[in-house]
Amino acid sequence: MPPPPCRSVLGYTLNQVSEHPTPAELEAFLAGGLERDRLREVSRHLLKGCPECRAVLAPLYESMEALPVDEPGTPAEADYDQVIDSACCRARAHERYSRREEARARKIAALLEKGGGVKALADDADVPLRGLGIFKALIQRSHAVRHEKPREMVHLARCAVEVTRTLDPRRFTPAVLADLKAWAWAELANALRVANDLEEAEEAFGTAFNLFLEGTEDLYLKARLYDLHASFLGTKRQFALAFAALDIVYSAYLELGERNLAGKALLKKALYTTYSGQPEQGMRLNEEALGLIEEGSDPELEFSAVHNQLLYLVECGRFAEAKRLLFERRRELQKLSGRTYALRLRWIQARISAGVAEWESAAQALIEVRDGFEEEGMGFAAALASLELAAVWMRQGHDFMAEELALETVEVFVTLRIRREAFGALMILKDAIEKRKATVSLLEDVVQHLRRGDMDPEARFVPRGR
């Protein structure tokens, strides 16, 4: 899902107070589309210095702060006409600027999608690295490559930060410029987190928060900033702080009427709750999130919600419930056609089959999953699926096949340079197999430890019975 728009920053209106001009009327006022009588009424309202309407208009009409206010007395009728004419002229200029930047954003996005990164833009003489259009395209592309190209994600976000320094201050109020800079720094901080540069990420988040306080304190931007910071806190396993940040995100999106995004915040809180050792509570939060997400509105978000619910049920050993939920929601889960989604779905199906002792079905699914992840170049996932397959084979009594596969997989993990604690668990398994003392419980414990490594990198390996 792309980052939610900071709507005040990007020129949308938020205020909807009945005693004020409606957002549509304010937009029409700036575009010169109101009838003359209503145009005059709106102008008079704005000239009185209405702070709510000025806050709505500021991102679009930077000169609102310079408009005269009736202190004391009332402007003459000719002054109103002059203000109206000036507003209409500037509004049309802004409209032309917005259309031009949107067109540039589309062109730049297409160039970036073809590959080559920012260098491809630099090689194109028609694409100067400045302006709101390129800023938006860089932010969106940085988010899009977060899974496959973390280094490019960082580079694109750094370029977006640089572009904010070139934005024309005559077109934006200082507060709106601060918002744009805060957004760019927040995306850079998140990119650094993804690239595992946590020290610089923390500094970048500090810059983003300082800029946010200098800006309009836009609610969409606030939600985005706290959401990204919650991910940073989760990566550092500071779950109590991450929960507090996500509560802010959840409340902000509910206030804005963004139920899907509020549900997404709850999904993340459910995940961190599970990571902190409370899978049952995580499952309850996930169910609450499912109730917020509108069916059919965001297939990727729906997939994550249902997949995570299946995962929590499996982690809690509630395999029969997981099997029933998988059957009930299969159609929704299959809406996403990407290979990775299909493999993740097949993998959870394999774990459910193993949990209800349907060994043949589990083995067949794991073979497909292992082969699929290998083809996709996802080495760790393929190796983990191989160890799960070895455990299933051992459950079926195929000890020799299981031991051979497990030994091969240990060697694969070694080449992947996994963390030290996980390496120790694999050496225990390797030693047990070589001494013909490996058991299915030991193999399953190693698999479980490797799974939990993503949740707790410092987890110690303690086999059952020790």
Q: What is the mean pLDDT of residues 442-446?
A: 92
C-alpha to C-alpha distance for 138 and 192, rounded to whole angstroms: 15
The token duo for 223 is 């939600």
Whole-number mean pLDDT of the chain?
A: 79
At 454 the pLDDT is 56
C-alpha to C-alpha distance for 305 and 136, rounded to whole angstroms: 28
310 pLDDT band, cuts 50/70/90, is: very high
Q: Tell me what percent of the residues of the chain surpass a pLDDT of 70.
A: 69
Report the first-to-last Cα separation within the chain, whole angstroms: 44
Is the pLDDT confidence value at 288 over 90? yes
Closest CA to 250 of 288, 295, 287: 288
Region at 48 (left for phi over 0; alpha for psi -120 to 50; beta for the rest): alpha
Closest CA to 192 of 220, 156, 163: 156
Q: HSE-up of 99 (CA within 13 Å, CB side)?
A: 7
Contact 133, 161 (CB under 8 A): no
- Lowest mean pLDDT across 83-87, 204-208, 260-264: 83-87
Q: What is the mean pLDDT of residues 118-136?
A: 66
- Lowest mean pLDDT across 27-36, 275-284, 423-432, 442-451: 27-36
- Lowest mean pLDDT across 212-226, 237-251, 320-334: 320-334
Q: Which residue has the higher pLDDT, 301 or 51?
A: 301
C-alpha to C-alpha distance for 20 and 1, rounded to whole angstroms: 34
Residue type, 143: H
At 333 the pLDDT is 79
Is the pLDDT confidence value at 3 over 60? no
Q: What is the mean pLDDT of residues 33-44?
A: 62
Is the pLDDT confidence value at 31 over 60? no
- Contacts of 91-94 spanning 24+ positions with Cβ under 8 A: 91/29, 91/30, 91/31, 91/32, 91/60, 91/61, 92/31, 92/32, 94/30, 94/60, 94/61, 94/171
18 pLDDT band, cuts 50/70/90, is: very low
141 pLDDT band, cuts 50/70/90, is: confident
Give me the DSSP letters along 392-416: HHHHTT-HHHHHHHHHHHHHHHHHT
Contact 25, 38 (CB under 8 A): yes
Q: Which residue has the higher pLDDT, 98 or 452?
A: 452
Contact 190, 148 (CB under 8 A): no
- Please identify which residue in the block is written with the tokens 């640089």: 162
213 pLDDT band, cuts 50/70/90, is: very high
At 10 the pLDDT is 40
In the chain, domain spans: 23-101, 361-466
Is the pLDDT confidence value at 7 over 50? no
Q: What is the mean pLDDT of residues 194-213?
A: 95
At 371 the pLDDT is 95
Q: CA angle 128-109-264, nearest 5°? A: 130
Contact 302, 283 (CB under 8 A): no
- Please identify which residue in the block is written with the tokens 């800079």: 181
Is the pLDDT confidence value at 13 over 50? no
